[in-house]
Structure 1
Amino acid sequence: MPTLGRSLIAKIFLVSFLSVHVPLIALIIHLLSGFDTGPVPVFTLILVATLVGTAICLFAIWRFIRPLHHLAEALMKYPQDKSVLKLQSEGADEIAIVTDVTKSMLWQVEELTKKLKHQATTDFLTGLGNRRWLTEQLPAAQSQAERSNEPLSVILFDLDKFKHINDEHGHEVGDNVLMIVGEIVKDSLRPYDLAARIGGEEFCIILPRTSGEAALSIAERLRAAFEASYLDPLPIGRVTCSFGVVQAGPDERLQQLLRRADTALYKAKAAGRNTVIGVFADKNI
């Protein structure tokens, strides 16, 4: 059987039992002490003892179930308020067990939610974000750029003749190429830059605090890094990309940015691939 400290039922039963018998215990003590046994003193004693016993019982039960009340309040505020995860279990009874188990389950839910969110917003091959993630992140980046009166630029690029790599060497080699591209991008960008794979072999990079001219330099460095990469059985220089670079305008949405960047990318393809083209204020660079 559970000990008294580990059983809420046992504690409530014991308190209730003792509280109910407070009038009887008080009466016995009164009689054994030789006090007045008249009806009025005895009635008054029993009445007061009953009230005292009831108050003790209610107070004790309130103390016992107060942790359950705190748990219920915290759960009602979840998930807006994560305070339930910080609750400290009091004692070792059933309420403490329920509190600990609830916290453990919610921690697992939080971890699973993080993993699912990461999987839903991350490209599994490259480790970069995906199109959905980029769509969610861009408004905040644009708002920050507007508040700070700083430029924001976009690089759109894709792998040249990627289908030929898959057709000639198989999809495993193609996947390895995508992973190398992802690693080069991650190693080349700043912590606050945003990079995502938005299509099969198409990538997009959002560059806060970066003018169009500076974005051109970044794209050129990436172009050279891709060209210099090596992946067996492909020769050095086989992995190349074409780049379109634009600087974002005020309140320009992602689709508008991508459309302009795609125009620049198309010109880079038409210029012979493995090329960087920027389109700024109706000028090609």
Structure 2
Amino acid sequence: MSLTVSEITQKVSASLTFKIFSICFASTHIPLLALVVYLVTGFRSEAMPVLGTVLAATLIGTGFCLASVWMLIKPLHEISVAVEAYRSTGAVKPIRSKRTDEVGVVTNGISMLITELDATLSQLRRQATTDVLTGLGNRRWLKEIGSMEITRAMRERTPVSVVVFDLDHFKSINDEFGHDVGDQVLMATGATIQHNLRPYDIAARIGGEEFCLVLPKTGTAAAIAIAERLRKELASRAIGVLPAGRVTASFGVYRGDPANESLKVMLTAADRKLYSAKNSGRNTVHWAVAKSITGESVAS
């Protein structure tokens, strides 16, 4: 089967072996060609001029060889830099080579693999830190992000509050109406939270029917107002077969002291107020303030 000139040219351009052979052949023959041209053109054939011509041509051939080899392997250098950057910083730098030889194939293949790997890892991170049912963060995510917010509040000396709330009589909803309705309630709760919170607030589902909010730059009064807004909206919603007022929640609010308390301590304090709210009849908000914070009442 005969090949056209275009097909031959394409195959040659896609062959790294041919390119390397061509560079080596040209580089090693430049001194010989220079000597032939020198003699044919009638220049003197004394030893020193001939030696000078050969040495100059050898330097030119060496330079040509080095430059050509560098152009061949440059994409590999770029992709190695991209791989190292991704390993050290997680930054993805797409690289696209127009070459069709082996170096181009390897460069484009590795670049695509890095991009696909980063997308896969990002998806896995989201799955590992997101509650599938509500779309909120999970306990693991809350621990990581919430702790960062506490540290930031301590550094910037800004207030931070924690809200823990629990859906009232959720087990009876599952028992009476089935888990599908229970899932609807959880999804509606997640949507209500996302609708009412500010962009920088942190919300997570930390248990079966238990949720947590970390509210940066939020004092006691503002945190209580947010909890009350969520409580009223949940109580006013009809969810599936459940009429308005059937789904309620009890809230514990705690204004923490980021300079002296960890996220775990704040969650424990908010949880105590949550159980206080449940013991007092449910569907209410109880709150407390860290004792080390002056100028505010200590408890509800």
TM-score higher than 0.5: yes
Equivalents in 2 of 1:19, 1:214: separation in Å?
Answer: 77
The correspondence for 1:248, drawn from 235, 249, 256, is: 256
- AA paired with 2:131? D
- 1:82 deviation in Å? 5.4
Q: Which residue of 1 aligns with 2:294?
A: none
Query: Cα distance 1:197–1:151, how it changes in 2: closer, same or farther (>3 A)?
Result: same
Q: Decide which moves more: 97-106 or 266-275.
A: 97-106
Q: Which residue of 2 aligns with 1:261?
A: 270
Equivalents in 1 of 2:281, 2:173: separation in Å?
Answer: 18
Give the alignment's Cα RMSD to 1 decimal. 2.2
Equivalents in 2 of 1:126, 1:135: separation in Å?
Answer: 18
The correspondence for 2:193, drawn from 185, 189, 201, is: 185
Q: Decide which moves more: 121-130 or 42-51.
A: 42-51
Pairing 1:211–2:219 present: yes
- 1:45 deviation in Å? 4.1
Unaligned runs of 5+ in 2: 1-7, 292-296
Unaligned runs of 5+ in 1: none
SS of 2:184 mapped into structure 1: helix
Q: Which residue of 1 aligns with 2:143?
A: 135
- AA paired with 2:254? V
The correspondence for 2:78, drawn from 52, 70, 75, is: 70
SS of 2:261 mapped into structure 1: coil
Q: Which residue of 1 aligns with 2:245?
A: 237
SS of 1:95 mapped into structure 2: helix
Equivalents in 1 of 2:47, 2:163: separation in Å?
Answer: 97
Pairing 1:159–2:167 present: yes
SS of 1:252 mapped into structure 2: coil
The correspondence for 1:278, drawn from 253, 264, 287, is: 287
Pairing 1:197–2:212 present: no
Question: In the TM superposition, what are the counterparts of 1:49-64 in structure 2 within 5 Å?
Answer: 49-64=57-72
Deviations 1:92-134 (A, max 9, x none): 4332332222221111111111111111111111111111111
SS of 1:192 mapped into structure 2: coil
| Contact kept in structure 1, 2:97 and 2:107, CA below 8 Å | yes
Equivalents in 1 of 2:34, 2:103: separation in Å?
Answer: 33
Deviations 1:40-86 (A, max 9, x none): 65455444434432332223222222232232233233222456614
Identity of aligned residues (%): 45
Aligned residue-pair number: 285
Deviations 1:158-211 (A, max 9, x none): 011111111111111111100000000100111111111001110001111211
